[in-house]
Amino acid sequence: MTPRTTPAGTDRANADVNPATGAGPASEGPGSAQPMLMYLVKQVELAIRSRLDDLLRPDGLTALQFTALTVLERHPDLSSAQLARNSFVTAQSMADMITTLQGRGLIERHRDQVDRRRLVVALTKGGRELLDHYRDEVTALEAQMLAGLTGTEISALRDALYACRASLGGHPPR
């Protein structure tokens, strides 16, 4: 098996550090000290978040705020609790985020058309324009992340991640 390389050109199997031992795995064979998949997923998540923060910083936006805006783009008119769950933040963090994003004119709060007692959050025109402004750069970042994979591997990765999410969420895989 030919090892895949990281952008820096290092063998992926030797690029990771075992969080328990601080040592990188010596090989991919049986008995190697491979890091747990959860650890690798977290490393990818942190790398993405760091790169997004760098990308969005000129507009004073964080990766978490951007995530909330993209959630609202896909699912308009969410309650703040629903938005928090779908954006992977606590309700208190979302309350602060809503105040900030609303103050910047990127989101608005209004009464739900179906249940007038319910207050929901939606993107404004400014929020949609901001997402459009970053769409190509975020797409390029994802393409960079996936550059070492074939189309088949990307599909398999997406399916595997959906299955992992479903298993942890108590839902059957799709």
Residue 109 lies in a domain: yes
The per-residue pLDDT for range 30-59, each reduced to its tens digit, is 556 899 999 999 999 999 999 999 999 999
Instruction: List, in order, residues 6 or more apart from 85 with CB less than 8 Å away.
Output: none
Residue 80 lies in a domain: yes
> 29 in a domain, yes or no?
no
- Dihedral of CA atoms 58, 60, 64, 70 in degrees, nearest 10, equals -80
Q: CA 101, CA 158: separation in Å to the nearest integer? A: 30
Given a cut of 80, whether residue 88 has pLDDT beyond it is yes
- Residue 7 pLDDT: 42
Q: Say whether 161 sits in a helix, a strand or coil.
A: helix
Residue 173 counted as domain residue: no
Domain count across the chain: 1
Domain that holds residue 102: 62-142
Mean pLDDT of the chain: 85
Query: Smallest Cα–Cα separation from 70: which of 113, 134, 163?
Result: 134
Residue 15, domain member (yes or no): no
Q: Which of 60, 64, 103 is nearest to 87 (CA)?
A: 64
pLDDT reported for residue 146: 97
State how far the Cα of 123 lies from the Cα of 126, in Å rounded to an integer. Answer: 8
Answer yes or no: is 8 within a domain. Answer: no
Give 173's pLDDT tier (boundaries 50, 70, 90).
Answer: low
Distance CA 41, CA 23 (A): 18
Six-digit token string for 144: 């960079």
> Using an 8 Å Cβ cutoff, are 120 and 111 in contact?
yes
pTM for the model stands at 0.74
Q: Does residue 172 fall inside a structural domain? A: no
pLDDT digits (tens, 9 = 90+) for 110-145: 998 888 888 999 999 999 999 999 999 999 999 999
Residue 15 has pLDDT above 70, yes or no: no
CATH number of the domain enclosing 138? 1.10.10.10
